A and B are shown apart, each in its own frame.
Chain A
Amino acid sequence: QVQLEESGPGLVKPSETLSLTCTVSGASITSSFWSWIRQPPGKGLEWIGFIDNTGNAKYNPSLKNRVTISVDTSTNQFSLNLTSVTAADTAVYYCARKPTVSRNWFDPWGQGTQVTVSS
């Protein structure tokens, strides 16, 4: 059974970099694609991006200049870096698996982690 768990700082200052990690258990990180999705307060879900099992990443065009997703095969984790954050980046951040290149859905998801951008 694949399980994902997000971790990272709950508070980030404006203009700094938001960094989160997702730990994958029950599957090798080289077996699937891995995604980040967020939900700002009172709003719907927003796809941030995903990275495939060759290290290639696709990003939401609206965030592309600020976001990097990377994989660490030695720890079975993948990470999100979002630079130059503002209050608009305050959200619950979820990590999720996209099973393969042709399977276009997210399953499973982590429980999410709240990140607040504030000085």
Chain B
Amino acid sequence: QSALTQPRSVSGPPGQSVTISCTGSSSDVGGYNYVSWYQHHPDKAPKLLIYDVNKRPSGVPNRFSGSKSGNTASLTISGLQAEDEAEYYCCSFTGSSSFRVLFGGGTQLTVL
């Protein structure tokens, strides 16, 4: 059982939007703006999509967006494309007093 809870799978047709949730606690997701999201295609290196809850690295399309409400962070992918089919992971760092790095269990996105 992973520390952060994600749905096992989500799906949607090309062009639509999907949202992946990531639920933690007030000690991690809810307590700090250190949430990041990663895209992982099989046999490839995981790729950073979102950091600090809602910031995109250069080169990541603006179809990918992040947000947070309370202890739940979300990744929204709009205008789904076939190449978006992958596993997505959330990650949260905690504060220095009881430092941890937590990942979610991963969500498989299927583009129908």
The chain A residues found within 8 Å of chain B, CB to CB, are 4, 37, 43-47, 58, 60-61, 94, 96, 103-112
Contacts and interface: CB of A to CB of B under 8 A. Distances in A.
Contacts, number: 62
A105 B36 contact: yes
B30 to A, nearest CB: 15
B86 interface: no
B64 interface: no
B105 interface: yes
A43 B87 CA distance: 12
Nearest to B92: A104
Interface residues of B, number: 26
B61 interface: no
Given A104-B36, A104-B93, A111-B44, A60 B105 contact: no
Nearest to A110: B45
A62 B41 CA distance: 28
Interface of A (DSSP majority class): loop
A60 B100 contact: yes
20 contacts: A4-B45, A45-B46, A45-B106, A47-B102, A60-B101, A94-B45, A94-B46, A104-B32, A104-B34, A104-B36, A104-B93, A105-B52, A105-B91, A106-B36, A106-B38, A106-B91, A107-B48, A109-B45, A111-B45, A112-B45
B45 A45 contact: no
B36 A44 contact: no
Contact of A107 (B43, B57, B102, B106): B57
A44 B57 CA distance: 23
